A and B are shown apart, each in its own frame.
Chain A
Amino acid sequence: GNSVTQMEGPVTLSEEAFLTINCTYTATGYPSLFWYVQYPGEGLQLLLKATKADDKGSNKGFEATYRKETTSFHLEKGSVQVSDSAVYFCALSDRIQGAQKLVFGQGTRLTINP
């Protein structure tokens, strides 16, 4: 079945560092791809998405490009802040029985030190 593999965490960076969290997927067809973020003690928030190949999703300084040739959707940010500390989940939409579910990666915990 369809699956998502994320970079192993935890990841610890200093403020203003460059961030990359790798995400690759296995899927039949062309699923939509998502990044969700979970701040401590909170639920999942949609960070960005891309619905077709070469689309770039962006939000709050984060970006990710849907790369069909490498089946990847890596998350990047040029200069991280302490407030970006959270768990980040890569996900794809998977069609089953005519409906849709999200398939998530295992999550990557990011800690930013001042």
Chain B
Amino acid sequence: DSGVTQTPKHLITATGQRVTLRCSPRSGDLSVYWYQQSLDQGLQFLIQYYNGEERAKGNILERFSAQQFPDLHSELNLSSLELGDSALYFCASSVEGGGETQYFGPGTRLLVL
């Protein structure tokens, strides 16, 4: 158990809908990262937050957004969902975000029908 929690574990929804994925980092970690794992793209970095502020953006679509709250939990919002958004979404956390180890949550499996 990494100490990073993610909810829900599974999510099934329809095209065009909007969903919110939630992540709680390990106790004491200030940085949260979101990754997408799909069959065709592999594991890709989406976005990083550090202590409530956006720090870095990767291959995140404009339909996707994230935020980190004062209690350091983070949410990833996916809107206008398409079939191709079906994937496993991982959250990871680290102490600061400058190059140390990232610890991953169990992931949320999203299926868009």
Contacts and interface: CB of A to CB of B under 8 A. Distances in A.
Interaction A to B: yes
Interface of A: 32, 34, 36, 42-46, 49, 89, 93, 95-107
A66 to B, nearest CB: 14
Contacts of A104: 42-44
A97 B55 contact: yes
A84 to B, nearest CB: 19
- The interface size bin for chain B is 20 to 34
Given A44-B104, A46-B101, A100-B99, A106 B42 contact: yes
Contacts, number: 62
Contacts of B98: 99-100
Given A36-B104, A45-B2, A49-B101, A99 B50 contact: yes
Interface of B: 2, 6, 33, 35, 42-45, 48, 50, 55-58, 90, 92, 94, 97-99, 101-107
A12 to B, nearest CB: 20
A42 B43 contact: no
Contact of B42 (A43, A46, A96, A107): A107
Nearest to B42: A106
A102 B102 contact: yes
B43 A46 contact: no
A108 B57 CA distance: 27
Contacts of B104: 36, 43-46
A96 B106 contact: no
A93 B79 CA distance: 29
Nearest to B45: A101
A100 B58 CA distance: 11
